[in-house]
Amino acid sequence: MSSPKLTDEAVSRLPIQEGRADLLEEIMAIPTETPVTTDDLAERRESRRRRWLPALGAAAAVAAIAAAVAVPRLLDGGTTAAHLPVAAPGGGEIAVLQAPGWQLVNADSVDEGGGEISYQSGDETLDIDWRPADQYDSYLTDRQDIGKAEKVTVLGKPSLLWAYSAEDHTVIRPVVGDFMLEFRGSGMDEAAYRSLLGHLLAIDPADLDSYLPDSFVTDDERPDVIAQMLAPIPVPDGFDKDIQSDEIERYQLGAQVTGAVTCAWLDEYVAAKQDGDKAAMQQAVDAMATSRDWPILKEMRPEGGWSQVIWQFADELAAGTVPEDYAGQIGCGN
């Protein structure tokens, strides 16, 4: 089951009842990431729309609730989002940003084929892409279509800078080891962008994990984290605890785990009601009534709206009502 990611449009389509409307209004009041507006960035905007954001990013609260239509997170080219390994394979150099007030909000396809990490400060964003060395010439040729490049030194290497617009710039740094690097800055003028480049730090790919936030969950950690989340939660007989996930952010992983359990109990209730099995119905009600004590939901509560949705479902079930379109709202079966 993949955890649902919401857009504003998806939230607007939720079949909310009166008690849920206040919650959604509160969540939607949080400003989302401002997309870059240059024509050249259409593909990048689509990529950003499909990303996860941790709770520190504004869109996290929206992503945390539930999707009217579950949308799988994709990378450029339409492939499923890749795992984030403990260390990015490869040699040479990649880069991270170490600037006051900037937060890491995204990591995509961090593997031997390259990767991207993104940072945000208000409306300003910086994307750091590393790509296989043999792609350098093609990317350099492509960027030359933007116009004349300016020479700039980045991380000790002579590099080239292009301006897409007054507040959108990119730099390509020559290959070091296995990777070339590109730095795309948006929402800031050239002077601010150049200044920000001075806060980059070149690192060995194998050291990337030590620069990721504690909320990141790596491939090696994920099975144990899922088991820890599930341990205090009652689950139906036959529930498969081997939840498959590629989520790299603890909040989203918690939504996926608790969503799977909630779906299972609601399915049990519906089946029991059809069979006239009042004991099984009550078992589902009692199990969901414990959801306010599930440690992971209590942990997630300050970061977004997912916990409230699960608790609202539990209240509706206790009142003898099956939440409307619960499968669509929290992505059951996806």
Residue of 188, 207, 209 lying closest to 197 (CA atoms): 188
Q: What is the largest CA-CA distance in the chain?
A: 75
pLDDT in the model for residue 90: 66
Nearest Cα residue to 126 out of 138, 134, 117, 135: 117
CB atoms within 10 A of CB 165: 13
Residue indicated by tokens 């950690």 = 221
Contact by Cβ (8 Å): 309, 20: yes
Quote the pLDDT of residue 61: 32
How far is Cα 303 from Cα 57, in angstroms, rounded to an integer? 10
168-177 burial, b if ≥16 CB within 10 A, otherwise e? bbbbbbebbe
Averaged pLDDT, groups of 10, the chain, 334 residues long: 38 37 36 34 34 32 31 28 46 91 78 85 96 94 94 96 97 94 98 98 88 78 94 97 87 95 97 97 98 97 94 97 94 81
Which pLDDT does position 111 carry in this prediction? Answer: 67
Residue 21 in contact with residue 4, Cβ under 8 Å?
A: no
285's enclosing H/E stretch is helix 278-289
Q: Where are the domains of the chain?
A: 8-35+46-76+216-330, 94-211
* Helix H or strand E encompassing 259: helix 250-275
Indicate the class that CATH gives domain 94-211: alpha beta
